Amino acid sequence: MDLTDDYLIKIAAGVTTTVAISLLYYIGNRVNRISKLLDKHEKVLFGDADIEEWQGVVKITISNRKYTLSDRKALIELINILKSNGTIELTEDLRDAINQLKVVE
């Protein structure tokens, strides 16, 4: 074994070590970024305990669904009152619209 073979082995080991360390650093940064994004995602969807006013999109949507259902019921009742007073005539299109309002998804 001569001197150039020894240097080539040291250079190859140094390059391999540098590539491995760089790859581990890159993977660590990506995992850290994904972790932060997941944390933000959870805070947006489900709220943040540190911020009192922020409930999260899921809780807001569920509470708005209650209002939407009550608004549908009020609109159907209003249409029924207008129909019973003779103010409007119940056409096929209006019946279809009322039936779509009655469907709860």
CB atoms within 10 A of CB 51: 10
pTM > 0.75: no
Backbone angles phi, psi at 40, to 5 degrees: -65, -40
Q: Could you report the per-residue pLDDT of 54-97, keeping only the tens digit for each?
A: 778 877 777 777 767 778 888 888 888 888 888 888 888 888 88
Cα 20 from Cα 14, distance rounded (Å): 10
Model pLDDT, residue 102: 76
Cα 102 from Cα 84, distance rounded (Å): 19
Q: Could you report the per-residue pLDDT of 10-62, keeping only the tens digit for each?
A: 999 999 999 999 999 999 999 999 999 998 888 888 887 777 777 788 777 77
